Chain A
């Protein structure tokens, strides 16, 4: 659509005019495109579940990712003094121990599914930097409410 604004009735006489603006347009669109490409390649994370993580084996160690899984019953251990929480994500067969020390979402305690954002350690445990809890709605089990805590890392220190 942008280029149509540059069209005119006498293309031959104005080809130099067109070229100048086309180069400018290409430059700006190129910058935007490169920024998006750079941002995607630099910051993309895997979004996988516990089963898929297991299948990836050792190649997943150290990668940034979001892992989803069910919260294993009675696996939540909170240490208020040390500000730590540990729990286990599971798909029924595979288990992923997760540790976290940020703000725990208000809906975590009744979550059926948890998404942990963070990194896999060499020992097979997972260190999370964000938690996201999905809860069953009280009256209708088929309805899923989402509560995202990815915002809880709002205090990113760019300068340092």
Chain B
């Protein structure tokens, strides 16, 4: 199996190289047979990489410790499902293979769905996609093979990092990869449009959904990663502006910008260069992010080894960025705007401002991540920035974005007048004032969080009222009740109202972020058995410590705490410390109580240590207000995004029109 997998990867490299060249020549010279052979190349490549994936999975499941990947990331004690299989992406070569495999699966879907309907673009799409795959297959076949053998075969493996032995860790990396890798597809379409010179909006229509899919996965991946950190790492938080988190957030922000500006292009034929630029930036950021996290140039929480592929990745990133930008400039004349902005107070302008802010946030993060390198060049000293920088800069920009989110529903396409806008503002501002006052009463007493609550309330009110007013208007004609009218309204226009639901989800999530980051508290205390501790309105009673119980790979020491509120026992918390002998590492297992009503706050307890022969135990207690709203908002974000992806009646008609145009046109005429 190992040899088979190894051979499959070498052949895959040759196939990718062939399909890249055949796709380009087939399209350029208009040789359909050559283009079709490139399409077949995509299918063969997909099969070959799948063979390699099966081979490595087989090696993992059969615990073939002669392979470096298996020996370094698994052990005999590790459960086969899911953790031995998740070791696939635990190491560098495995994660490269996983990346290439996901791209090949995306590629298969795209080729099977779009080959007929986008006959002029697809050979170029295939060519660009296989260029990326050639790079990955080269790395896999010749530089960092997942089938590399151990010099000496060990009796047992090193085991998986204990922190990664968690159910969420078996879905977090695949979600992130689905997001990261998925941004390659719109990039391929954009490059295909530039190469073919067919720069009408067909590439935009073909790819909007292909931005939405990776955007959703990346967002989910970030959320699941945050939840994992919260449940496992024991520092009471879920987001730490770590370089690896930032690397995933940057393309997500740029993707968000694109999802908004693409509407301007579809409606008005404007921002064409800008949209093309955003796709290039988003894709480049996914490559650059991989470089950052794999090269060891920045310090990160994620245990990636420094590696030899760093320079290769940087080189590839630079080549792709330069080549795509050059291509964009070469085609500037074909990307003329079809319209001009009518008014400063128009939805188009506000979308553009929103775009600049999203891009600005991504740039601010990028500068923060590379600041240690940049500052050395600029000042001769190595400087770093951390959470305070990101909270200040990115937090401010996101605040401005929320403000726009509140204003935009009040402004139509084409333009509005100030007087009109002023009249529309009165009621939302009044409701915002009431909601902010409620926030004040509930505990947001400081200026900054109060301001944030006001911004979020405003966005919530204008968005929700836009939906409700449209539903009321519908009611007049249909005589449905309000819930039915609302649901049918959303069903009529998934994109618009699904998008609004995403906004409402983001408001809920943001409220959770504000509450849990601004008003979180933590306290420490050492307790002897039977001793009680009054903290934040709770009484914690330390009822005992159970030391040294074997559980899987670990020896677990568990403390028992009775939690009382107003003299009534509300729960029992069992925070623990696990010691993993094989890895010589301990892991803190927090115990979390989501306090009702409305999960208003979490009581989060960890064991910090013990002394006096287990008689005295030191606990740290975190109070995290509103943190559950982060997960609730995240879940609603998923549902809302899925709603936006449902096909609309209008959209289907538009797509059929495009299809007719394309089948009439056949292959693209080269532009020169």
Contact = CB atoms under 8 A, between A and B. Distances in A.
A25 B277 CA distance: 17
A78 B396 CA distance: 40
A47 B372 contact: yes
B564 interface: no
- Chain A contact-residue range equals 35 or more
B610 A80 contact: yes
B586 A156 contact: no
Contacts of A15: none
Contacts of A7: 337
B54 interface: no
Given A36-B363, A39-B364, A47-B382, A109 B586 contact: yes
Contacts of A101: 524
A152 B240 CA distance: 8
Given A28-B353, A144-B305, A107 B585 contact: yes
Given A5-B274, A29-B356, A43-B388, A146 B299 contact: yes
B618 to A, nearest CB: 5
Contacts of B466: none
B58 interface: no
A1 B526 contact: no
A55 to B, nearest CB: 12
Interface residues of B, number: 90
A44 B271 contact: no
A139 B72 contact: yes
B366 to A, nearest CB: 10
Interface stretch (B215-223, B230-238, B529-537): B230-238
B310 to A, nearest CB: 14
A103 B392 CA distance: 24
Interface in A112-160: 115, 117, 132, 137-140, 143-160
A148 B298 CA distance: 12
Contacts of A151: 229, 233, 235, 237, 240, 242, 301, 387
Interface in B334-385: 337, 340-341, 344, 349, 352-353, 356-357, 360, 363-364, 367-368, 371-372, 375, 381-385
Interface of A: 1-2, 4-8, 14, 17, 20-21, 24-25, 28-29, 32, 35-36, 38-40, 42-48, 66, 78, 80-83, 101, 103-104, 106-107, 109-110, 115, 117, 132, 137-140, 143-160
A132 B299 contact: yes
B609 interface: yes
Contact of B306 (A25, A81, A144): A144
The 10 closest A-B pairs by CB, nearest first: A154-B237, A151-B240, A159-B446, A32-B360, A155-B520, A148-B301, A39-B393, A145-B303, A152-B235, A143-B305
Given A35-B396, A159-B518, A83 B526 contact: yes
A109 B372 CA distance: 27
Contacts of A157: 518-521
A7 B332 CA distance: 11
B611 interface: yes
Nearest to A45: B384
A145 B384 contact: no
B274 A43 contact: no
Contacts of B448: 158-159
A145 B382 CA distance: 22
A39 B588 contact: no
A7 B337 CA distance: 8
Main secondary structure of the interface of A (DSSP, over half): mixed
A31 B386 CA distance: 21
A1 B72 contact: no
Given A80-B610, A80-B618, 20 more contacts: A1-B274, A6-B340, A35-B396, A39-B385, A44-B371, A47-B372, A47-B383, A78-B609, A80-B616, A81-B611, A81-B618, A83-B524, A148-B242, A148-B301, A150-B386, A154-B238, A154-B240, A155-B237, A155-B522, A158-B391
B337 A103 contact: no
B236 A155 contact: yes
Contact of B364 (A5, A35, A139): A35
B318 to A, nearest CB: 19
A133 to B, nearest CB: 11
A83 B526 CA distance: 8
B375 A24 contact: no
A138 B584 CA distance: 9
A151 B356 CA distance: 29
Given A66-B384, A148-B300, A154-B235, A32 B356 contact: yes
B501 to A, nearest CB: 28
B518 A158 contact: yes
Contacts of A143: 305-306
Contacts of B387: 150-151, 153-154, 156
Contact of A46 (B72, B383, B588): B383
B233 to A, nearest CB: 7
28 contacts: A2-B356, A4-B332, A8-B340, A25-B356, A28-B357, A32-B363, A32-B397, A35-B364, A35-B393, A43-B386, A43-B392, A47-B384, A66-B384, A78-B609, A101-B524, A103-B234, A109-B586, A137-B158, A139-B72, A143-B305, A143-B306, A145-B303, A146-B301, A147-B303, A150-B240, A155-B236, A155-B622, A159-B445
A48 B273 contact: no
A143 B668 CA distance: 51
Given A39-B392, A80-B610, A48 B274 contact: no
A63 B337 CA distance: 52
Contacts of A156: 387-388, 391, 517
A107 B452 CA distance: 37
A101 B618 CA distance: 12
A139 B611 contact: no
A80 B619 CA distance: 10
Nearest to A18: B340
